[in-house]
Structure 1
Amino acid sequence: MADEAPPQQIKPLTFKLRKPVEAHGEKISEITFREPTGADIEAAGLPVNIDFAFDPPRIEFDARKMSAMMSVLAAVPPSTIRALAPKDWSTCAWGLASFFIPDLV
């Protein structure tokens, strides 16, 4: 066990926004998310649902939980996430989805 490499640090994910939004009294044109933790899932809920009854499995977002998670991970108020353009919200959600999909291999 002493020879194991330390866990790889995940870089924050930054997305350019098609439409700027306000966060903490300032207009922002990009949003950065840190890697989630188990505590974040406990607080916001699991924002991605996977239905293995389909082939390939169906992936769906719980919009309320994903919005809450985005707010926590970006350290912005919920109003900032609610103000995102639909395409920006979707781009961010899909970018974050891989954190919540299990490695099954």
Structure 2
Amino acid sequence: MSELELTKPIQAHGETISVLELREPTGKDVRELGFPYVTTGDAGVRLDAGVVAKYISRLGNIPPSAVDTMSPADLNTISWEVAGFFLGTSTPDKS
């Protein structure tokens, strides 16, 4: 589980959220949503914003409309956190 403090709070489920908790994705999540990135010809990685948004919604248990209201900075930070689950760079679970 990752906790990320938002620079701009969002509304979800009638509440103001300033810290978003993301659970780790499961195989079922990957099967249903696909991978949130594509590899590029130069051994790089490009995030797929549409797929990442679906992961943020699912892993953070917030509606897609809440993801749509995130600041670009928060969305970027959280997008790389989601990618980190797949690339082995996410914050380790401290529990």
TM-score range, shorter chain: 0.7 to 0.9
Asked whether the equivalents of residues 48 and 101 of structure 1 are also in contact (C-alpha less than 8 Å), the reply is no
Q: Does residue 25 in structure 1 map to residue 11 in structure 2?
A: no
RMSD: 1.2
Which has more radius of gyration?
A: 1
Residue ranges of structure 2 left out of the alignment (5+ in a row): 89-95
| Superposition deviation, residue 98 in structure 1 | 1.8
Partners of 1:68 and 1:45 in 2: CA distance: 10
Residue ranges of structure 1 left out of the alignment (5+ in a row): 1-11
Runs of 4+, deviation exceeding 4 Å:
none
Identity %: 35
What residue is the counterpart of 2:46 in the other structure?
60
What residue is the counterpart of 1:36 in the other structure?
25
Aligned residues between the structures:
88
Question: Following superposition of structure 1 onto structure 2, how do residues 62-101 of structure 1 map, counting pairs within 5 Å?
Answer: 62-101=48-87
TM normalised by structure 1 equals: 0.78
TM normalised by structure 2 equals: 0.86
- Map Cα deviations across residues 10-55 of structure 1 (whole Å, 9 max, x no partner): xx1011001010010111111010000111112222111122x31x
